[in-house]
Amino acid sequence: MLSLATVSAGYGSFQALFGVSLDVARGEAVGVIGPNGAGKTTLMRVISGILPMRDGTMSIEGREIGGLPAHRVVEQGIAHVPENRRLFPRLSVEENLRIGAFIPSARARFAEQLDWVYQLFPRLKDRRNQLAGTMSGGEQQMCAIARALMSKPKVLLMDEPSAGLAPIVVQQVFELAHRIRAEGLTVLIVEQNVQQVLDVVDRAYLLEVGSIKLSGTAAELKGNSFIREAYMGL
Amino acid sequence: MDIYLLEAIINGILLGGVLALLALGLNLIFGVIDVIWICYADIVMCGMYAIFFLYTQYNVPLPLAFLIAIIGVAGLGVLVHLLIIAPVLDSAPINQLLATGGLLFFLQSFATLLFGTDFRNIGVRLPVLEIATMYVSFARLIAFAVALIGAVVLYVFLKRTYIGTAIRAVAQDREIVGLMGVDQRRIYLVVSAIGGALAGLSACLLALQYDVHPYIGNTFGPVIFMICVLGGLGNMIGGFVAAFVISQIIAIGGYYSSTELSYVFAFTFFIVLMFIRPRGLFAP
């Protein structure tokens, strides 16, 4: 479904990704774990086209997307829930969702998609006229995910959905991730919360200093002694 | 109440309409593109010349001349963005100010070169209405009504349409809108065209009341900036309200002293307020 081969990227003279290759199959949930500064967010930004790729190839369903600007990548079926949610704080919840359905194919199905995300997240329906910036962190994360779903993506990218949230809310966010999986979406999720993300995904990659160091099924990684020591504190 | 004071207050409200319209345009551009068009009032001047020549020299009917001016100035807005703003969009704000400031002098000098410094009037004399022994200029009444309608249309556009919602979203987080499929550059062009169209509409309303000359921008340009800063730069509703505050100070000040002194009052009010509320009247 989503395929990256030897992708490199960086900012100015700083190189953040060194030949990263990864694959996500249809209907699969894949995690990318790793420490702060490993390049996880950069990887997400490169896939969604906010940051230009320097080298390598990237495709969705066999169509090349490397080099496309962000607003064209969405049209290819990739939606990105950015780090720290990045809602439009002075737009209402429903206006945020409307922006999520900006691309022509999504506009045509706006009412239908809106029903679907309200069904997934009933809380958002109660708050639909509230300014997004005035909601709690967990509700904002819900809204950010819903906004991405409004474009009816084939692949959902989630960047650190648990970042900056209270532990009990983190639990709820991972429940949201389960719910999205149950809808049959293909998901690529970046997390520092290794223990919990491995409960949600089928497979995961370990990214360290801009390269993939390890990969395997969630069960394999949970049993890996290096991962257990370095990332799960066991 | 003194009937003449009431007359001054009403005329002040009517004057505020066009100023509010121009403040909306400037705030929209600043809020979305993060650039200040120092030359905004001079773009209005271009529109006024267009109306003058179309109507008096080429005998184009006035409504059609107005329409051509609005569309033409909207196009001029797009050109300003493409030729002047886009190349310096990523450089320091001071460079952007210098670029649009340079355009101000260019437009004023170019107009002087082409048309000379004569004051020209389209020669349409609208009646002065007498309402309960008060005199109200019909041209100002029209200007006020049209400005209000323009503001409402803009509000509905920004509130109800996809592109309008995207415009507001860009103003709040310009990096992330791309993830929703919004092409930032296209939004900038749309906003520049709307800003231009508002300047063109203002040109129509001002051409009914004032003579056009190459430096007419200087007479209301500074007032519009003062209004925008007073309302909070980029705050469209704040600027809209501030336009009426300033126009009242000018009108009532003019009633108690003279028109010249009334501008002194307005700017004094502005300077004092900048010390008390540096982020504008309506900053939280």
Give percent above pLDDT 70 in chain B.
99
Residue type, A113: Q
CA distance B101 to B109: 13
Bridge partner residues of A205 (DSSP): A32, A215
Name chain B contacts of A50, Cβ cutoff 8 Å.
175, 178-179
pTM score: 0.90
User: A11 in contact with B at a CB cutoff of 8 Å?
Assistant: no
CA angle A101, A102, A104 (to 5 degrees): 95
**Cα dihedral: B30, B33, B36, B42 (round 10):** -100
Which among B248, B247, B231, B229 is positioned nearest to B239, based on CA atoms? B231
CB hemisphere CA count around A191 (13 angstroms): 26
For the beta carbon of residue B67, count every other beta carbon within 10 angstroms: 15
Kindly report, residue by residue over A116-158, the tens digit of the pLDDT.
Answer: 999 999 999 999 999 999 999 889 999 999 999 999 999 999 9
Q: Stretch A154-174: mean pLDDT, rounded?
A: 89
A contact residues 39-68, partner B, Cβ 8 Å cutoff: 48-50
CB contact under 8 A, A88 and B169: yes
Say which CATH architecture domain A1-77+188-234 belongs to: 3-Layer(aba) Sandwich (3.40)
Kind and range of the H or E run holding A119? helix A110-120
- State pLDDT tens for residues B238-256: 999 999 999 999 999 988 8
Extract the tokens encoding B186. 């296209």
Question: Mean pLDDT across the stretch A9-17?
Answer: 93
**All domains of chain B in start order, with CATH:** 3-276 (1.10.3470)
CA distance A80 to B7: 58
pLDDT digits (tens, 9 = 90+) for B198-249: 999 999 999 998 999 999 999 889 999 999 999 988 889 999 999 999 999 9
> Residue A102 and residue B162: Cβ atoms within 8 Å?
yes
User: What mean pLDDT do residues A175-184 have?
Assistant: 86
* A100 in reach of chain B (CB within 8 A): yes
Q: Please state the ipTM of this predicted complex.
A: 0.90
Backbone angles phi, psi at B58, to 5 degrees: -105, 5
- Cβ–Cβ under 8 Å, residues A201 and A193: no
Average pLDDT score, chain B = 92
* A76: chain B residues, CB-CB within 8 Å: none
A89/B166 touch (CB, cutoff 8 Å), yes or no: no
- CB–CB contact B172 A50 (8 Å): no
Instruction: Indicate the angle between helix axes B216-231 and B40-52, nearest 10 degrees.
Output: 140
Evaluate whether A8 touches A18 at the Cβ level (below 8 Å). Answer: yes
Average pLDDT (A204-220) is 94
Q: What is the mean pLDDT of chain A?
A: 93
Alpha-carbon distance of B270 to B278, in angstroms, equals 10
The secondary structure element, H or E, covering residue A91 is none
DSSP H helical ranges for chain B: 3-33, 40-52, 62-79, 93-115, 138-160, 162-172, 184-207, 216-231, 236-256, 259-276
Smallest CA–CA separation between B235 and chain A, in Å? Answer: 12
With 90 as the cut, is the pLDDT of residue A32 above it? yes
The mean pLDDT value for B147-151 works out to 92
Nearest to B245 by CA among B232, B231, B234: B231
Q: Give me the residue from B162, B172, B176 closest to A98, CB to CB.
A: B162
In the predicted structure, residue A103 carries a pLDDT above the cut 90: yes
Question: What 3-state DSSP class applies to B224?
Answer: helix
The confidence score (pLDDT) of residue A111 equals 95
CA B55 to chain centre: 22
B171 to chain A: closest CA residue: A88
Query: A131 to each of A4, A87, A96, A229, B190, how far by Cα in Å?
Result: 37, 10, 9, 43, 25
Tokens at A79, concatenated: 């939606």
